[in-house]
Structure 1
């Protein structure tokens, strides 16, 4: 049962609710949960309990028995799943009575997951698309609310233009964000599939290898230096800035190249460097 409010307490006080009366939001953008990480969290919860309450909304439904009450998770599904693994009968929650609209619930759920950086690129792209198409947010509005650049939002959404097997590989981590962006640039399906197979086979690793092979297959002639050891850094910077990042190591030192879409993206890069 929920804990009673003490005199003077606000409506955002912590309640204790039966675990089996809580359910995940079916519109929650996150779909993948690492089983090993959940087991580790469950072990911690058995020892120390849940340190951060779940954020939920209350749903009331009429039934033959009267009024049934359930709680829908807005933020904290991973904690709830771990609590179930730990066989906790109750979990601490904060009930948000005002969040009855899907728009508010999805927005808070998305922001919570993005701040934790737990969404994979495809989950992220689908969540952005829901905000855009179902709830009327422009790419600029999404960017402002999440502290991202507009091109970063737009480029994330474009990932959904990949074939389903490539989306699944990106979701599962078999290919990375930069590789997916390059595959998107290949408009010929057969050529796109050829590069995709090479990536999965481990024949293409760094950004320069990828661009060189894509240029060769697409019939363009461009030279790229090797940057295999900078692949992860290039991917992380490209995702954050929304542009294409290339880092090469030559005889005269390391060269950093950023292809950005707008002046705003350049300002973001300068801010990162100066900070």
Structure 2
């Protein structure tokens, strides 16, 4: 875009020079029309260079919001899966089946006294006992959430959610399961201006989604957070207040 603007400015200068030094005055009206047309084109380029990034950011946020909404549902499903099974899954389809069929155990904790022999005497030891008193369908947690379509983006059928699971070592031989679900930003932004897409993919600082992917979770640490900035969560906070 910058090169087009510079080229148009140079062209205006060349036309003006030729008009003054080489063109008869009776033909100056033709050059005036050319200059006006060139100036109009130049104004169009300048306006477009200002508005194009604004249009890009508006469309980008619309697309990101749609993807992040799906990632939040996937995250909730992964957390529920770990609560019930003790681990995460690397299959989105299995997550949907899990929500439809699995149940949370409803537990109750109580303290009981247990008699324990210590040498020649018997003492009462207090122990904590956890009783399962019922079950609740996992899908009840997802009421109002379109979990059956959480792997689909209506505006772009080419978007695929990449699932990864692993374990990280914590203390001694103890390990903790971790997960990550991500989407390639380049695919999300398909059809927008190329140079602005490149800038977005290289974003490493600022109040934006950093890196090449929109993601939730991490394979390097125990985390259920997404890599998007807080303003993508404002709608959720407002909904919770209501």
Is the structural similarity TM-score above 0.5? no
Interval containing the TM-score (normalised by the shorter chain): under 0.3
Q: Which has the higher strand share?
A: 2
Which structure has the larger Rg?
2
TM, length-normalised to structure 1: 0.22
